[in-house]
Amino acid sequence: MTDFLNISPRTDAVQEMHGHGIDHPHDTWVRNLEATAALLIALGSLFTFAAGVGAIPDAGVARWAQDCLFPLQFPVFFFCTGYLYQRYRTVRTRRAWVLNLRREAVVLLVPFAVFTLLGLATGSLTGTARTLTLPEAARALLLEPVAPLGYFYTCFLLYAITPTPISRRNAYGIVLAAVICKVAIVALWTLPSTAPAAAALPYAVSSVAENWIWFAGGIAIALLRALPLMRSREKAWALGALWIAASIITFTAGWIGEASHAILDAIGIMWVVSLFSTLFRSGMQSRFYGFATRYTMAFWLMAPLCLRLLFFLLVSLGVPPVAPWACLGLGALVCFGAPVALMVGLSRLGGLGFIVYPGRYLAPVPASIAKNPKL
């Protein structure tokens, strides 16, 4: 076990979301994109908190962001995960598959289990629908994850069903399979006659069908080395304008649904990949992202829990009606400050940071499945 788990974190694994030890200058844009997605997820929790305390209305720009902008962030996570998987793994044999899943079981399922239980415990305290009971814990861990922790659950399943392709033909096959799954699940959810059947599908099936396309897209971009084709300020601006216009039209017309989300997410991923790969093309890191990338997981895992606890405390004291804007300021401080403070504290308490970033405490990836690309 000592060759698999370290007591202190490895410095080469600090700035990548899952702590695999990736520190290549060409991946600066990926790490920064992941950090941005995490910050936006935390911001989404802050918007919900702000609406709850009466500081902002749950309509207009806030509702547009909740319906269009914030849901884009998890497809971005899946894309980045697939991209890095193809760049830094060689998983094409049964032994490689076992070794990779062994590692990912720790990297993904430890924070999944810990924060699932913490989320249910928070629900018990605040009186939400899902509380910490044995049946509910089993359901959340095995069948229906607590939002937003389904990312870990789905990501593990995607690793389990997706090898790293060795040729363009293999990559096209994986992307085609993912597209078929996406079209099928969108059709099931969209057609009135099949929507009940879609709702009855196991979470594992529906979530993989919905998100495999983003994971496969990341793999394809990495294998085909298509990133240079997406890099330019003009393309980033054009795709950004297209996404914003499409999202506003979709929101205003009330067309929010599975089909519209699929289209918006596809455009949105192309936009942010073009934007970040252009901005950070040199591989140089900025001070802001140098800091933020150290806490990517902490922001999106801890911020919702901290804000739920703060909301419960403030409501119990009767504060929101009296000082909604003061509540919002306090909420912003907790949303972005508490995860950093908690992560620093956990890292200094005998390696308890392992529950958030297991990958930082694992031994380097076995040479038999590791890949060190030149680009």
pLDDT at 5 over 70: no
Give the pair of three-digit tokens for residue 284.
């140089």
Q: Give DSSP secondary structure letters for 15-33.
A: SSTT------GGGHHHHHH
Return the higher-pLDDT residue of 269 and 366. 269
What pLDDT does residue 130 have?
86
What pLDDT does residue 18 have?
81
- Res. 151 pLDDT band, cuts 50 70 90: very high
What pLDDT does residue 1 have?
44
Q: How far apart are CA 214 and CA 221, in angstroms?
A: 11
Residue from 163, 157, 274, 158 nearest 221 by CA: 274
Quick one: average pLDDT of 246-255? 95
pLDDT at 9 over 80: no
Q: Give alpha helix (H) positions in 72-149.
A: 73-88, 94-126, 134-142
pLDDT at 46 over 90: yes
Residues 6+ apart with CB under 8 A from 164: 85, 86, 89, 90, 91, 92, 219, 371
- Find out whether 335 and 53 touch, Cβ atoms under 8 Å: no
pTM given for the model: 0.94
The position carrying tokens 């999202």 is 247
Q: Give alpha helix (H) positions in the chain.
A: 28-53, 61-64, 73-88, 94-126, 134-142, 150-161, 168-190, 195-200, 203-224, 227-230, 233-253, 258-279, 287-292, 296-317, 324-348
AA letter at 2: T
The DSSP symbol for 66 reads I
What pLDDT does residue 374 have?
63
Across the chain, what does the average pLDDT equal? 92
Q: How far apart are CA 348 and CA 344, in angstroms?
A: 6
pLDDT digits (tens, 9 = 90+) for 286-313: 999 999 999 999 999 999 999 999 999 9
| Cβ burial, residue 50 (10 Å; 0-12/13-18/19+) | buried
